[in-house]
Amino acid sequence: MFNCLKERIALKPEYSKELLAEMWKKLNLAREFETRVQWLFSMGLVHGTTHLGIGEEATAVGSILALKPQDYVFGTHRGHSQAIAKGIDIDRMMAEILAKETGVCKGKGGSMHIASPDINYFATSGILGASSVIANGAALTIKKRNERDRITAVFYGDGASNEGACFEALNLAALWKLPILFVCINNTYGMSTPIAKAMHDTDLSKRAYPFGIPSKTVDGNHVLEVYDAVSEAREYVLENGPMMVVENTYRISGHSKSDGNLYRSKEEINAWKEKCPIKAFRSYLAERRLFTEEELDAAVKEAAAVIDHAVEYGKASKNPSVDDVFDDVYA
Ligand SMILES: Cc1ncc(C[n+]2csc(CCOP(=O)(O)OP(=O)(O)O)c2C)c(N)n1
Ligand SMILES: [Mg+2]
């Protein structure tokens, strides 16, 4: 079923066993985390909303593992796997989603505003497209400080790419040659609207052309293809300024807390389940005998245990105190 992957990507020497193991671990942590959040949500334990990216994990893991720890990453509203790939404290991210005092934002941000500046991971806001502009500010800081081995990467969706703010950000980044990578996660829908109904030309990589920014499109369900593209893009950005990588994928989970999937067919969803990035990567690793089936299973079990721990930690943590309600609030 995944023969196409075998043909397209040869095992490169730079794919160390450690890197492949890290990818496998993080893909599973991301899937397990989101599956558990979905369950917690159905139990009424998650306040506010949450957006799951089940099926899109390879975009986060492939991209962020190709970056360096010092790079700034601005995630999306569907950002749990991006935060996990960046190395967030998973206990504290779960506590945040459960609105507890021990959460990464002390329980005040919730799923959509997960941020952890200590690992250079920044939240998005509820305003689509706005983080591209804010990320430009972080890239400008890098430039002004003359930091030679750091870039900013901003993730945004196909829907967000239609926002004026995204075009403004591309323009300014090009004009000032900012060290920023625009990572467009094209899951072909903005809520219930398919891209063909929202844009004249669905080739999102062309959005970079008017600004003289190079762009590349990759199979976002293929973690190694994503990794290669972002590794190369990082080098380009360090030397020359902005670049765009478009990662084509599919959101198997619903858009948000309630989604009757009335805008898409079961057949379409099932076809994409077959192209699941985690299944595909498992086949890749197993067929090449890079890991035994037992080793792969052990990592899946380990991911489940990490998430079990996070749920227990979150549930056992205290609710925030009303006395602190105005602390850390800037607007
Ligand atoms: C400026 C703005 N317009 C509309 C919304 C409502 N909204 C939230 S998510 C979403 C869809 C975003 O689609 P996309 O950028 O493709 O990301 P995806 O949800 O597919 O991951 C919309 C329209 C918003 N948050 N901000
Ligand atoms: Mg989308």
Residue-level pLDDT at 129: 96
What does the block give as tokens for 36?
């558990």
Helices (H), 119-253: 130-144, 164-175, 223-240
Ligand 1 atom 13, closest CA = 190
Decide: 272 in ligand 1 pocket, CB within 6 A.
no
Pocket test for ligand 1, best of 161, 191, 192, 247 (most atoms within 8 A of CB): 191
Residue extents of the structural domains in the chain: 3-8+15-314
- Do the strands 180-186 and 215-219 form a parallel or antiparallel pair, or are they unpaired? unpaired
Residue keyed to tokens 């796997």: 81
Residue-level pLDDT at 4: 38
Residue-level pLDDT at 48: 86
Q: Which atom of ligand 1 is nearest to the CA of 195?
A: 16
Residue-level pLDDT at 125: 84
Ligand 1 atom 17, closest CA = 157
Decide: 159 in ligand 1 pocket, CB within 6 A.
yes
Residue-level pLDDT at 3: 36
Decide: 56 in ligand 1 pocket, CB within 6 A.
no
Q: Ligand 2 centroid to 195 CA: how many Å?
A: 8
Residue-level pLDDT at 258: 80
Decide: 24 in ligand 1 pocket, CB within 6 A.
no
Residue-level pLDDT at 9: 53
Decide: 220 in ligand 1 pocket, CB within 6 A.
no
* Sheet strand arrangement including 121-122: 121-122, 72-74, 152-157, 180-186, 243-248, 215-219
Decide: 62 in ligand 1 pocket, CB within 6 A.
no
Residue-level pLDDT at 12: 67
CATH of 3-8+15-314, one of 3.40.50.970, 3.40.50.2300, 1.10.1740.10, 3.30.70.1400: 3.40.50.970
Residue-level pLDDT at 330: 78
Average pLDDT, consecutive stretches of 10 residues, N- to C-terminus, the chain (331 residues)? 44 82 98 97 92 98 98 98 98 97 95 96 92 98 98 98 98 98 98 97 98 98 98 98 98 90 96 97 94 97 98 97 88 70
Residue-level pLDDT at 71: 99
Q: Ligand 2 centroid to 204 CA: how many Å?
A: 12
DSSP 157-178: ETTGGGSHHHHHHHHHHHHTT-
Q: Interhelix angle for 223-240 vs 57-65, to 10°? A: 40
Residue-level pLDDT at 13: 62
Residue-level pLDDT at 136: 98
Residue-level pLDDT at 223: 98
Would you say 180 and 136 are in contact if contact means Cβ atoms under 8 Å apart?
yes
Residue-level pLDDT at 10: 56
Residue-level pLDDT at 328: 86
Residue-level pLDDT at 252: 96
Residue-level pLDDT at 124: 86
Decide: 241 in ligand 1 pocket, CB within 6 A.
no
